[in-house]
Amino acid sequence: MSMLFYVDTAKGVVLHPEVVKLCESFRALNDKEILYVVLAYDYNSIYRQFPEHERHRKAMWTAFNENESELIKSHRILTAANDYVSLQYNPKIEVARSYQRKIDKYLSEIDTDDSPTSVKKKMDVIRELRVNIKELENEVEASTIKKGMVKGKQDLSYLEELMSNRKNYLAVTSQKK
């Protein structure tokens, strides 16, 4: 899927006009705040390979030249971040991210674990989770290639794709509450 924003090193962040129409929360943000949201939450962010806390820290530094978490705790930024996630929502990517969080948790536990049996079990779980992540990534890549076909072999428009992602996200998040 194409990015919701373009990040241009010379000019900063450029919004797709369609995105602003879908989520009014983006209008309330300045350019630095938009840059933070994109870098911290986009599936294709330049910081996507980092753990979540590190990704947020790097995005704060890039956007604000500071690492103070108070900068990103405003209601405006949190609302826009939630809207941004909803527009690009892909359940397979979210599952892969949750698997990665579990891997990170197990790795930190292994550092303090003295039992060889326990370490071996955790390493086996980590290995299996990594295999599952790779499979999910392959499925996402394959679905991206096939994406957009509807009855009659027509493509979904960019807005229809975003609205579908948002609808799926809202359905999933409403079930969790």
Delimit the domains of the chain by residue range.
Answer: 5-88, 91-176
The reported pLDDT for the residue numbered 121 is: 95
The reported pLDDT for the residue numbered 85 is: 87
Phi, psi of 13 (to 5 degrees): -110, 135
**Helix, strand or coil, per DSSP, at residue 64:** helix
The reported pLDDT for the residue numbered 131 is: 96
144/30 Cα distance (integer angstroms): 31
Degrees, nearest 5: CA angle 97-62-10: 115
pLDDT digits (tens, 9 = 90+) for 68-85: 777 788 889 999 899 888
The reported pLDDT for the residue numbered 31 is: 79
Structure tokens at 113: 């674990």
Q: In the chain, which stretches have pLDDT less than 70?
A: 1-18, 144-159, 176-177
Where helices occur in the chain by DSSP H, the ranges are: 17-22, 31-41, 52-64, 75-88, 91-112, 116-146, 158-176
